[in-house]
Structure 1
Amino acid sequence: MQRRRPRGRRIAALLLWGWFGAAATPAAALGIDPGRLSADDLAATQALVDDVLPRLPTTWRDGLPAGLVLQWRDDLPAHVAGRRVGDRVLLPRRLLETWKTRDSLAPDDASVLVVRQALVHELAHSYDRARRNILSGDPRLRDLAGWQRSVLPLAGRRSRNDFVARTPDPYERERPAEFVAVNLEHFVLDPDYGCRRPALHRHFATHFGMPPAVEACAPGLPFLEADADASDASLLALDPSRVYAIDYLLAEGNTQAMSRWGHSMLRLVICAPGRVPGPDCRFDLAHHRVLSFRAFVGDVQISGWRGLTGSYPSRLFLLPLDQVIEEYTRVELRGLRSIPLRLDDVEIASLLERAAQLHWSYDGRYYFISNNCAVETWKLLHDGVPRLAGESLASITPTGLLKKLERRGIADAGVLDDADEARRLGYYFEPLSARYDALFAVARESLALPQQDAQAWLALSPIERAAWLPKADLRTSAALLVLETAAQRRQQLLLRDHLKRHYLGRDAPADIAPALQALRAWLGDTGFISRPSELLPQGYGLPQAAERERITEEARLRLARLREQDGRLREELERWLPADQRDVLHGIEANLETIGVRLRNP
């Protein structure tokens, strides 16, 4: 093992348990090399062995190789906390000196925990290697750890582990064997481990034949819900027992190259407070949420070239269903199909737990072919529901993934057979193109417009549309107001995407003026929306009670800064837009003002 000195905390209760449990230590499990050790050194070393071994599960202790010996060394590099060489566990002599001062230190002093962690880490390697990598080679553990399967059949597992945030030690991402050793340190020594990494805690407990009991955890699974446009953010503690069902949510494709095969998401059918979970929860639309992999909140389209080259992040957002419906049906004019997945309550809870882990830890890269929304959704299903890991579901397109889910009886597409009933029950949300066409028909009949439909009308420049506005009566003006508002929303999304890609991307100009640097800082201050771990980089795993309070407070402070700078910096943002795009935005605003005057002064 080669890594930085670990950090952590020690619980007094565990310390006392360690002392009183020493009598149960199987002395033969770990010998001591007495070379160059004084009587005090030998006594301290034996005390360390007697402290650590009882903490290990019986299966682990019994599985250690015979003849294992602990040796203190003076020649290990400064950054090395321990090594396993043959039948020797090598620890740096400096740790022995720290351990000998333990009685003079506070019960929760982190330096004593460092010594325990170093020994547990090497004993974890010893157990794993002696059992032919029984843990580090376990496919299920590699799924949980972040070495995910590739969607490409011959590629096996990805060598890159993108679970980079809220880690107990970045060294765990070095390779699966180190992941096992680092996490077994916390499994043994941190009573909060079961709350912070519940799936891994259960996996280790099952392997070692232990009851999966953990300390009382903060209630619910934490997700950050934030809306930069509304300058609002909140921390949702999602209770899996309130989630009646999970649907595969497909945004239908359009003519854009990057959206031709649709967009994969998962819809959480969450019951309203007070409602007993059941079919009627499907009508509680205001409480439903959507799990969606995307680069930025609100971005429903991405650049084709940048998507091919992995220039976008791929992060998991929890979004209100009504926001997703507006984005796709009103702005993108794409329908949404909501197909129920056949999952039981335990599987729903497991999937949501995995989603929470991704939300706080995962920072992937978007690739149009190998790591797009369909691939990310498949990996979430594969890793979050063990039963589905045995199904051949991998697909690089959202429609392809849906077809595989249907063929294997996991998705119930029969809910769409009756179109009227599907709309009534919320299994299908139709695009507003039909409504826009109906509104446009009103304007076309009144003004004798030459365009054939709403799409052709919205494709005109704002100046071309402006020429017709003074001729509209009240009814026509009301129809054109809806269409012009849709044009404004679409243009705002396009411009926001342009600004983020140009000024926050890898290819941002190196010689940025001070004003532009302020804009980058302003845009960067919204980064916590897509990466909530920025709000509290300390700690690991799922945030617990005290951390959630600090996260909420930090989000509040950041939003206050955004509101304070909002007006001035929005003007700066417009100044850095290309002139033609700025003209389009101003033209739409002028059109809305013209229509507004007409409606206020009939």
Structure 2
Amino acid sequence: MPPRRPRGRRFVALLAWAWLGPATALDIDSARLGPDDIVATQALVDDVLPRLPQVWRDGLPSDLVLQWRDDLPAHVAGRRVGDRILLPRHLLQAWQARDGMPADDASLRAVRRALVHELAHSYDRAQRDILSDDPRLRDLAGWQRSVFSIAGRRSRNDFAARVPDPYELERPSEFVAVNLEHFVLDATYGCRRPALHRHFAMHFRMPMTTEACAPGLPFLDVDAEAGDASLLALDPSRIYAVDYLLAEGNTQAMSRWGHSMLRLVVCAPGRAPGPECRFDLAHHRVLSFRAFVGDVQISGWRGLTGSYPSRLFLLPLDQVIEEYTRVELRGLQSIPLQLDQGEIASLVERAAQLHWSYDGRYYFISNNCAVETWKLLHDSVPRLARKPLASITPTGLLKKLERRGIADTRVLDDAGQARRLGYYFEPMSARYDALFSVAREALALPQQDVHAWLALSPAERATWLPQADLRASAALLVLENAALRRQQLLLRDELKRRYLGRDAPADIAQALQALRTWLGDTGFASRPSELLPEGYGLPQADERAIAAEEARSRAARLREQDGVLRSELERWLPADQRKVLQDIETNLGTIGARLRTLHATGAS
């Protein structure tokens, strides 16, 4: 039976194709296609090709042929074999049913994406992997440099969260094809992946126009002290400077060489960016890569084998100061980096991408905080990528930054001025020494320094407390609070080691399960993508509202559970450790009562 003759516009289109040939670089294999199939195929080609940049269209091979196939595997949306683009026939059937469908219907998007994907491969291969072998694009995509070989790259892409399609992580060529789908077809791509959008636009010599993006760069802002979490939209134009923030080392193996971070000097609302912004400490934020540990104490062996995730946190500066100077008794050096405003914006934009997408692995030597900080600087600021800055230690990275004129360590030359201007935050051990001197002089304490005083048992310290005058009592109150914080830190780690391992006592199984659940619920603080199960790239306005509400809800649940868990788990501490905690709290009560009495009597 002869094929049915097409009528009307379909007939005209078929004649145009048959007599004039396609006005593009893509032919159609008409074998086993009916007239309606040919007309629909040509309509698809005419729909997709004009969407491509002219440079892309001009760079396609001249002999490309589009063929519909019935024998492609079910999971394959298209293939490029030689000069042929092969697409599954069911996509043609979906395209033929387009009449009456919305222009952005999911099935129509799938057809367009399949063709654009294979045209992207065709362009890239025809131009000798001009995109997939581009070092800058690989930096942006997530195939990061190795710290041990500047010429080498990691074989794994760890930017695995909030991706448009997990297939992009297979290899750079697939990353290019998947992202060019969205570059061409998704109007929000420039907001979601701005650095990649700019790179593609520059490559194809296109104007960098995007839809109106949600303002600022989104970060999950977690306040551990308040037990709260919210979404912060950082405006790069409000960031006056970026400092290399070094937590000085201590005697612990995992901290001996310090900890690398970046401090964002954010100006207070209403203040014009300038040197005065350095005093707006409440608004400053810290970018810190950490081996997030939700269930066990960090072990050296697991740190060597990459058993911990490495993720980027945004933390309030005052929280970081409290953590290092008061609890860990480590100083903080804040060294300005010589970056212009465009480089600062690029760095913070890259940090936002890492914050929402990166799920790396922590290795004590090859992918620690110094390596992660170097990669952030390398990938976000092309000028720095051309300098040999790679280092596996925080102090080593600082020395290289200083040697290349990027970090200005002269701000530390005058110690007093460095403290006044916020370039150095001294460890509280120095203040504790001064406070202990006050108490030692007033009470004739036999201990020679604060370390010897805190090494006493709380019961031994308690014998001196009723004799203290007002100044000595105030000093001892601060020191006893320091003892409490350190004891709580030690007991937290003790609980993790003792009760979260395989040998946990069976009689506290219910409490331990509650603790494990609680720790699991805190995961969103290090992986904010958990708050948004759908979407890709940087969250936009609607997604931000959802993420903010979910973060508040989870933080509220954690606050409710926290007190119950603390009291429950303290019951399972060894009796001697439980007594230490109770004795410190008794001491605090004694000092508090002593201070009130001295104030009431006007004693000095």
Deviation at residue 588 of structure 1 after TM alignment: 2.5
Q: What amino acid sits opposite 1:314 in the alignment?
A: S
SS of match in other structure, 2:50: helix
Q: What SS does the aligned partner of 2:251 have?
A: coil
TM-score by length of 2: 0.91
Does residue 323 of the first structure (1) align with residue 342 of the second (2)? no
Q: Is the 8 A contact 1:462 1:588 kept in 2?
A: yes
Aligned match for 2:195, one of 188, 196, 199: 199
Which residue does the alignment assign to 1:434? 430
Structure 1 counterpart of 2:474 = 478
CA distance in 2, matches of 1:187, 1:573: 52
Partner of 1:70: 66
Distance 1:401 1:297 in 2: 25
- Is 1:228–1:526's contact at 8 Å kept on the other side of the alignment? no
Provide Cα deviations, 1:117-171, integer angstroms capped at 9, x if missing partner: 1111111111111111111111111111111111112781111211111111111
> Is the 2:263–2:285 contact (alpha carbons within 8 Å) kept by the matching residues of 1?
yes
Residues in 2 aligned to 1:275 and 1:341: alpha-carbon distance in whole angstroms = 21
How far 1:504 moved relative to its partner?
Answer: 7.4
Matches within 5 A, 1:254-269: 254-269=250-265
State how far apart, in whole Å, the 2-side matches of 1:553 and 1:198 are. Answer: 25
**Partner SS for 1:269:** strand
Partner of 2:184: 188
1: CA distance, partners of 2:109 / 2:579: 62
Matched, 1:528 2:532: no
Residue range with higher mean Cα deviation, 556-565 or 285-294: 556-565
Contact 1:416/1:428 (8 A) holds in 2: yes
Partner of 1:349 in structure 2? 345
How many matched pairs? 577
Aligned match of 2:237: 241
What does residue 394 of structure 2 align with? 398
Tell me which residue corresponds to 1:123: 119
What is the aligned partner in structure 1 of residue 553 from structure 2?
557
C-alpha change, 1:277 and 1:105, in structure 2 (3 Å) is: same
Q: CA separation of 1:40/1:582 partners in 2, compared to 1, >3 Å: closer, same or farther?
A: farther
Which whole-Å CA distance do the structure 1 matches of 2:509 and 2:438 have between them? Answer: 49
For 2:203 and 2:286, how far apart are their aligned partners in 1? 34
Distance 1:202 1:498 in 2: 50
Q: 1:146 to 1:434 in 2, by over 3 A?
A: same
AA partner of residue 290 (structure 2)? R
Q: Secondary structure at the match of 2:102?
A: coil
Question: For residues 394 and 519 of structure 2, what CA distance do their matches in structure 1 show?
Answer: 30
Q: Deviations over 1:411-455 (max 9, x none)?
A: 111111222222221111112212100111122233333332112
Q: Indicate how the Cα distance of structure 1 residues 501 and 270 shifts in structure 2: closer, same or farther if over 3 A, else same.
A: farther
Distance 1:547 1:539 in 2: 8
DSSP 3-state at the match of 2:211: coil
- Cα offset, 1:467, TM superposition: 4.1
Partner SS state of residue 219, structure 1: coil
CA distance in 2, matches of 1:597, 1:424: 35
Instruction: State whether structure 2 residue 319 is matched by structure 1 residue 332.
Output: no
TM-score, L = length of structure 1: 0.91
Match of 1:14 in 2: none
In 2, distance between residues paired with 1:423 and 1:137?
A: 47
Structure 1: distance between partners of 2:565 and 2:291: 22
Q: CA 1:77–1:425 in structure 2 vs 1: closer, same or farther (change >3 Å)? A: same
Decide whether aligned partners of structure 1 residues 426 and 77 sit closer, same or farther in structure 2, where only a CA change above 3 A counts.
same
Query: Does 95-104 or 378-387 show the bigger shift?
Result: 95-104
Give, in whole Å, the separation in 2 of the partners of 1:376 and 1:140: 17
Q: Is the 8 Å Cα contact of residues 269 and 282 (structure 1) preserved in structure 2?
A: yes
The separation in 1 between residues aligned to 2:164 and 2:490, in whole angstroms, is 39
Letter aligned with residue 324 of structure 2: Y
State the shift of 1:488 in Å.
Answer: 1.9
Alpha-carbon spacing, 1:470–1:510, altered in 2? closer, same or farther (3 Å): closer
Give the C-alpha shift of residue 229 in structure 1.
Answer: 4.0
Residue in 2 aligned with 1:9?
none
Q: Does 1:415 align with 2:381?
A: no
Equivalent of residue 280 in structure 1, options 276, 280, 294: 276
Output aligned runs, 1:138-157, within 5 Å. 138-153=134-149, 156-157=152-153
**Alpha-carbon distance change, 344 to 503 in structure 1, aligned in 2, over 3 angstroms:** farther
> Residue type of the partner of 1:195?
C
Is 1:385–2:385 an aligned residue pair? Answer: no
The offset of 1:461, in angstroms, is: 3.6
Q: Is the 8 A contact 1:297 1:317 kept in 2?
A: no
Residue 590 in structure 1 maps to residue 572 in structure 2: no
- For the structure 1 residues 50 and 423, does the alpha-carbon distance in structure 2 shift closer, same or farther, using more than 3 Å as the test? same
Counting aligned pairs with the same residue, the percent is 82
Contact 2:311 2:526 in 1 (8 A): yes
Matched with 1:16 is none
Counterpart in 1 of 2:6? none
Contact 2:244/2:260 (<8 A) preserved:
yes
Determine which of 364, 368, 372 is the counterpart of 1:368: 364
* Alignment-mate amino acid for residue 553 of structure 1: E
Structure 2: gaps spanning 5 or more residues = 1-16, 599-604
Give the deviation of 1:232 after TM superposition. 1.1
Unaligned runs of 5+ in 1: 1-21
